[in-house]
Amino acid sequence: MAAAHVALPLPVLPQGWTAEKDFKPLGKISKPIQRSIEPVGPHFLAHARRKRHHRTFSEDER
């Protein structure tokens, strides 16, 4: 997908902000919902190819 652009500016870094390598993890992503993706369309096919390849890959490792 083409990268979108947002015109509103990012905030100024607060005085005294520090973090190792300028990155500070704070929390975790909330619990997701399990759903099915419909097996239709070109983007799904690409997804299926990735996922099935990965699956056989990890099975091979076992």
Segment 13 to 52, residues that bind other proteins, using CB under 8 A:
13-14, 17, 19, 21-45, 47-48, 51-52
H or E segment at 60? helix 42-61
Q: Which of 29, 28, 27, 47 is nearest to 37 (CA)?
A: 47
Contact between residue 49 and residue 57 where contact means Cβ atoms under 8 Å apart: no
Q: How far apart are CB 57 and other proteins at their closest, in Å? A: 13
Q: How far apart are CB 52 and other proteins at their closest, in Å? A: 6
Residues near other proteins (CB under 8 A) = 1-14, 17, 19, 21-45, 47-48, 51-52, 55
